[in-house]
Amino acid sequence: MKASPPLILRYLDRQPYEPVWKKMQAFTNERTADAADELWVLEHDSVFTQGQAGKDIHLLDPGSIPVVKVDRGGQVTWHGPGQLVIYLLLNVKRLEYGVRDLVNLIEESLIDYLDSLGISAQARADAPGVYVGEAKIAALGLKIRRGCSFHGLSFNIDCELDAFKRINPCGYAGMPVTRLIDLQPDIRFDQARDGLLSIILRRLGHQQVNTTNSWQELA
């Protein structure tokens, strides 16, 4: 594996979806071979996102929640307050990762974090994401362009779940959805965020991480 520059961990609070998506695209299109990898950590305003092969049949009753058609894999999911989103903007060619390697890293990091709380979770071969029993607690969708990844994972921590009733989550009719606070009532959002991030960072193996709360470098 080639040496990587320090990873940038960018905490972005709550953001509308489309501007962040456009920044991800621009970042990926413009980054050089030596550019640092980044993780963007945030929550979104309420939105449904539909993958590039998404079918409208899975949008049951979006109502006033906007629907954005995007360039990731997968069908339709919801993002909103109380749901942790981590976008992984990685030079997967430099890391020598295939798509399956990155999917495994995300799923196994979530499973390891939940296990640290005494919660048994698993991935499914037929439906990417992480599940507690039959209920989905985290979704993932990725795009690889120019040897680099963008998009990432969403993890239901203390979000409302009603919006998931308006769709077939990830294209599966009737799929139950759960959230961490129902399994660990005393958990705080920042605890879950930091616990999961520490596992992802360890698995990625970057020797140095620089943290910022700014968009400035991406303007």
Would you please indicate which residues are annotated as catalytic (active-site) residues? Answer: 170
Q: Is 96 exposed, middle or buried (0-12, 13-18, 19+ CB in 10 A)?
A: exposed
79 marked as binding residue: yes
Q: Please state, in angstroms and rounded to a whole number, the distance separating the CA atoms of residues 171 and 129.
A: 12
- HSE at residue 16, side-chain half, CA atoms within 13 A, is 7
40 marked as binding residue: no
151 marked as binding residue: no
- Is the CB of residue 180 less than 8 Å from the CB of residue 157? yes
28 marked as binding residue: no
74 marked as binding residue: yes
Q: Please state, in angstroms and rounded to a whole number, the distance separating the CA atoms of residues 173 and 53.
A: 17
145 marked as binding residue: no
25 marked as binding residue: no
Q: What is the CA radius of gyration of the chain?
A: 16
- Is the CB of residue 73 less than 8 Å from the CB of residue 49? no
One-letter amino acid at 163 equals A
80 marked as binding residue: no
Q: Which residues are annotated as a binding site?
A: 72-79, 139-141, 152-154
Residues flagged as binding site for substrate: 72-79, 139-141, 152-154
